[in-house]
């Protein structure tokens, strides 16, 4: 019969994985596998895209599941926020930090690491923050020196992400690229103006 592989948002930032595991106990769990992508937004997209590719190649479910950690370890998501107002409203930033970053026009840049967003740098001003994330992505691609796919993500900041996309693609050539709106799980905390770039470095053997 049919088998199911369900790919979910990072379990460290959401209860979705645990809820799915509880629900799985009520059905034929031998035919279902739950994958904690350790990712959000475009990162999940790359996990799903690769798993679909492996299914089409005819790999059995057990073999696909054994490759998940290698797939997710090759995904790098960088995010810059235009405001921490929504992060503060969600209880993830204290009042003092919210006040200081707002007054000084500081823009945090984050990356996903081990299933959670981690602060990389606080940059003053929108223009500098966009330049920082652009250089961050280009340096990462140069450092890895592998074939890659890339996603450009935004929350109501299409013009800014388009400029970043144009600059990056003028310097490097991905195997695949797309632009999309940031996923709701990230967007609700990141707020309008947030943007991100997600890179998936491909391994030839998988």
Domain boundary among 56, 73, 90: 73
- What is the distance between the alpha carbons of residues 15 and 70, in angstroms, rounded to a whole number? 23
Structural domain tally of the chain? 2
The string of pLDDT tens digits covering residues 129-146 is 999 999 999 999 999 999
> What's the pLDDT at 125?
93
Q: Do 79 and 117 belong together in one domain?
A: yes
Q: Do 93 and 174 belong together in one domain?
A: yes
Q: Do 85 and 64 belong together in one domain?
A: no
CATH of residue 131's domain is: 3.30.1180.10
> What's the pLDDT at 86?
56
Helices (H), the chain: 16-24, 42-56, 61-73, 85-89, 95-103, 126-144, 158-169, 184-190
Domain interval for residue 82: 75-201
Domain boundary among 33, 52, 73: 73
CA angle 75, 172, 181 (to 5 degrees): 55
Q: How many residues does the chain have?
A: 206
Asked whether 100 and 80 are in contact (CB, 8 A), the reply is no
Q: Do 129 and 167 belong together in one domain?
A: yes
SS3 of residue 150 by DSSP:
strand
Asked whether 75 and 47 are in contact (CB, 8 A), the reply is yes
**Low-confidence spans in the chain with pLDDT less than 70:** 1, 86-104, 189
What does the mean pLDDT of the chain come to?
A: 88
Residue 206 resides in a domain = no
């Amino acid at each position: 019969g049919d088998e199911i592989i369900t790919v979910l948002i990072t379990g460290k930032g959401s209860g979705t994985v645990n809820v799915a595991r509880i629900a799985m106990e009520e059905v034929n769990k031998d035919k279902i596998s739950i994958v904690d992508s350790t990712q959000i937004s475009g990162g999940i997209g790359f996990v799903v895209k690769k798993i679909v590719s492996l299914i089409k190649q005819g790999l059995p479910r057990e073999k696909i599941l054994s490759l998940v950690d290698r797939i997710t370890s090759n995904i790098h998501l960088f995010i810059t926020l235009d405001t921490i107002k929504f992060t503060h409203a969600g209880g993830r930033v204290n009042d003092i930090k919210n006040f200081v970053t707002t007054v000084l026009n500081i823009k945090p840049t984050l990356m996903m690491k081990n299933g959670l967003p981690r602060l990389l740098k606080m940059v003053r001003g929108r223009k500098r923050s966009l330049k920082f994330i652009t250089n961050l992505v280009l340096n990462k691609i140069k450092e890895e020196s592998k074939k890659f796919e890339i996603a450009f993500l935004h929350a109501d900041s299409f013009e800014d992400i388009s400029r970043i996309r144009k600059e990056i693609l003028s310097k490097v050539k991905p195997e695949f690229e797309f632009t999309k709106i940031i996923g709701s799980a990230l967007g609700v905390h990141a707020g309008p103006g947030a943007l991100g770039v997600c890179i998936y470095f491909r391994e030839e053997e998988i």
